[in-house]
Chain A
């Protein structure tokens, strides 16, 4: 079953700005799906339409088979949204925000309180439960929006740049929480500008640019298109201008560091052997390619 099916989706804003030019893509149930694109590409518009915050101009959107036009309320019960910008009432207490959200889905207050406790503890907000949301830090505000989006146990969770502006530790905690949710069966759609995040978490990806889908495939398949990878090699002893090797690029970064570029058709062993024959002992090898990032830039720039 498809968690989300978008067909020929158009959006033209008042004033004539065309945000979406007939995009189509599907997200399978249980998937961890990345929706990527540069600023202004149409990602947030697409998410806004899926979550009923933006009216579409044309096309169809089905959430677990429910058309958002004809079975809007049924479709909405499946979706949890974590928006890009903080949109909680700043004067409301943390617990009230989460429990009230459950109430909007018809969940009894007693059940909602128990769920709120679970999610607030899970997301490290339990100590802040009685505070008004405006006193929370940026990372806490993001986590509050996640707790709010999960309170009705949605089958499809949409995360619009959930880790933007949060510290490294919080980001990693959020990654493991998202992975756990996905493993438990929640379908997740993620938009992010941290392509490392998408590469690490997502199985499938759609890249949107200027209102059009320019790539829609699995992350694995997309990465297989990568032509070249860059590695940093740390050497045991200082190196002085290693001999070049035909067809390979070897650059000296500093006394004990080399940078090499290896194309897909080339063999890593050959270059290691080449360096070894010069008496260069390699201590460590590190892949520094922003792999998805490179592909993303190639695709977007090509367009």
Chain B
């Protein structure tokens, strides 16, 4: 297909995704914002007031970037995994498979849907955080870069989960047993400099740590890790996941008999 036709196809998939998650916004957009508001109240106000400063900033300020990043991760992941798996389950994915849509466009379309939902929720949580703490932006470039890279990466991961999943249980296992622990242990609520050496070293193997810290650098100008290394890690995982998804689609794994 020509570039123009590909663009129409891409827009169609993205539009369909946006229509889907906005139609059910009480399920897709609202819960994260309410949950994060509770985190701000409980961890930021109630508990945070009892905790001293970290790197010369208040605890509330410290956790805001991570609490914005957390729903970006979960929403971009869950948007793609639930949307693509349900289209597999209902077999409506065949609409795409019989069409001349190139595999990479299927991935990009779904990923874009996940990124848009992740960013909308991220903006919603950011606005909510203003009720508790003024938002400072140290480096807008890093804010945009990290939020985009993170949502792309987790959308791609969600896509892979959806392709490989055979039943509904399979799409909840990874978020529950992998994504949530890694997110909570990704330096949202604490600086890894406070950890004993072993746990500090182990934390460095958690990719979410780099994303949370990169985003925190964008907002506050502080980070526990090298922010450029974080960009590199994200790009590496994005490339690896994109190519893996492309391979799975080409082979028809989980989609074609």
Contacts and interface: CB of A to CB of B under 8 A. Distances in A.
Nearest to A148: B95
The DSSP consensus for interface residues of chain A is loop
Q: How large is the interface on B (under 10, 10 to 19, 20 to 34, 35 or more residues)?
A: 20 to 34
Nearest to B20: A91
Interface string A72-112: 11101101010101011111100011001101111111000
Interface stretch (B26-34, B37-45, B99-107): B99-107
A134 to B, nearest CB: 10
Q: How large is the interface on A (under 10, 10 to 19, 20 to 34, 35 or more residues)?
A: 35 or more
B11 interface: yes
A55 B4 CA distance: 29
Interface in B60-111: 87, 90-92, 94-102
Interface in A96-134: 96-97, 100-101, 103-109
Given A52-B97, A55-B257, A79-B98, A87 B90 contact: yes
A54 interface: yes
Interface string A161-178: 000000000000000000
A85 B91 contact: yes
Most chain B Cβ neighbours within 10 Å, of A77, A79, A100: A100
Nearest to B24: A91
A175 to B, nearest CB: 24
Nearest to B10: A103
Nearest to B93: A87
Nearest to A19: B257
A194 interface: no
B100 A53 contact: no
A256 interface: no
A106 B98 contact: no
6 contacts: A53-B257, A55-B256, A74-B100, A92-B92, A100-B12, A104-B96
Interface of A: 13, 48, 51-55, 72-74, 76-77, 79, 81, 83, 85, 87-92, 96-97, 100-101, 103-109, 148, 152
Given A101-B99, A103-B11, 20 more contacts: A48-B257, A53-B97, A53-B256, A54-B256, A73-B102, A76-B98, A76-B99, A76-B100, A79-B98, A87-B90, A87-B92, A87-B94, A88-B95, A96-B19, A103-B12, A103-B13, A104-B12, A104-B99, A109-B8, A109-B12
